[in-house]
């Protein structure tokens, strides 16, 4: 493990559990010291420093943010697991959980290439942590919103290039999975649908400028070709760009 602080971020959620020695995590406005009593939950793309001493040892579990249990509200584990990564947070572990973690860590050390064992142990550990953190209740997601005008302006200014859900989530200051859910709740459509309609709205505006060719309009509104613009316009607006012009 690194002895000095290392600044980084990940494209996955991460659970970091102290096993031995002294180490820690720190980000903007938060810091957690890790020993054999603490586990820390780090959401995807959370910039943070990791630091440790000469003998520190931690167990790290990487979680795919697109896994149904973390991204699909209909999944039976979603209400238990997804809230773990709403924000950086930590858990003080009881003796039973500490013993379980150390037992799993020892078994994993003996079988470093057994992927199936790693995945099963990781799943069990995360569920145990979730149960401890929630106590006797289900973790409920905090209602979240974002400034739709800021997002609309961002989309408008970047229509000429590819816009990803990750880009929009960053503007909304939410994780990708949380943004996708919140966006649907607020707008009634997916981010992809919203971007398509924004591109088409802008294309219709540009069609009023006779000097612009359909190819140029396609380029300015982020469609890969004139044909892509025509297909999207016909599918979503029921008319071709040429007929509309």
The answer to whether residue 98 sits within a structural domain is yes
Asked if residue 162 and residue 103 are part of one domain, the reply reads no
| Domain termination residue (choose one: 80, 103, 134) | 134
Asked if residue 13 and residue 121 are part of one domain, the reply reads yes
Asked if residue 52 and residue 123 are part of one domain, the reply reads yes
| Domain termination residue (choose one: 109, 134, 159) | 134
Cα–Cα distances in Å, from 8 out to 25, 42, 85, 129?
A: 11, 12, 17, 24
For the chain, the domain total comes to: 2
Distance CA 233, CA 214 (A): 12
| Domain termination residue (choose one: 107, 134, 161) | 134
Helices (H) and strands (E) in the chain — how many of each?
11, 8
Asked if residue 176 and residue 119 are part of one domain, the reply reads no
CATH code where residue 91 lies: 2.60.120.280
Asked if residue 61 and residue 106 are part of one domain, the reply reads yes
The answer to whether residue 140 sits within a structural domain is no
CB 97 within 8 A of CB 129: yes
The pTM (predicted TM-score) of the whole model is 0.55
Asked if residue 124 and residue 39 are part of one domain, the reply reads yes
CATH code where residue 234 lies: 1.10.10.60
> pLDDT digit of tens for each residue in the chain (245 aa)?
344 445 666 788 999 998 888 888 888 778 888 888 899 999 888 888 888 777 788 899 999 988 888 888 778 888 888 888 888 888 999 999 999 999 998 998 899 999 999 999 999 999 999 988 876 444 444 556 678 888 889 999 999 999 998 899 888 888 787 788 888 888 888 899 999 999 999 999 999 998 999 999 999 999 999 999 999 999 999 999 999 88
Q: Would you tell me how many other CB atoms lie within 10 Å of the CB of residue 231?
A: 13
Instruction: Using the Cα atoms of residue 186, residue 190, residue 193 and residue 199 in order, give the sign of their dihedral.
Output: positive
Asked if residue 124 and residue 59 are part of one domain, the reply reads yes
Range of the domain at 172: 148-244
Q: Rounded to the nearest 5°, which phi and psi values hold at 51?
A: -140, 150
CB 17 within 8 A of CB 132: no
């Amino acid at each position: 493990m690194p002895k000095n602080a290392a600044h980084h971020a990940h494209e996955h959620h991460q659970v970091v559990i102290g096993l031995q020695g002294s180490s820690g995590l720190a980000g903007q406005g938060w810091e957690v010291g890790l020993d054999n009593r603490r586990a820390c939950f780090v959401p995807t793309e959370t910039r943070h420093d990791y630091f440790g001493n000469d003998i520190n040892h931690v167990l790290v579990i990487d979680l795919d943010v697109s896994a149904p249990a973390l991204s699909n509200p209909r999944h039976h584990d979603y209400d238990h697991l997804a809230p773990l990564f709403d924000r950086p947070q930590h858990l003080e572990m009881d003796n039973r959980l500490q013993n379980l973690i150390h037992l799993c860590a020892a078994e994993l050390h003996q079988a470093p290439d057994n992927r199936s064992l790693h995945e099963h142990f990781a799943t069990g550990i995360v569920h145990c942590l979730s149960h401890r953190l929630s106590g006797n209740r289900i973790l409920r997601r905090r209602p979240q919103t974002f400034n739709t005008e800021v997002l609309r302006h961002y989309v408008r200014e970047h229509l000429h290039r590819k816009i990803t859900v990750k880009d929009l989530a960053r503007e909304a200051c939410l994780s990708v999975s949380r943004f996708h859910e919140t966006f649907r709740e607020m707008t009634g459509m997916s981010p992809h649908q919203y971007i398509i309609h924004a591109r088409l709205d802008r294309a219709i505006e540009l069609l009023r400028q006779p000097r612009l060719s359909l190819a140029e309009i396609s380029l300015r509104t982020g469609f890969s070709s004139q044909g892509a613009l025509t297909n999207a316009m016909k599918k979503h607006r029921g008319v071709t760009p040429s007929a509309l012009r």
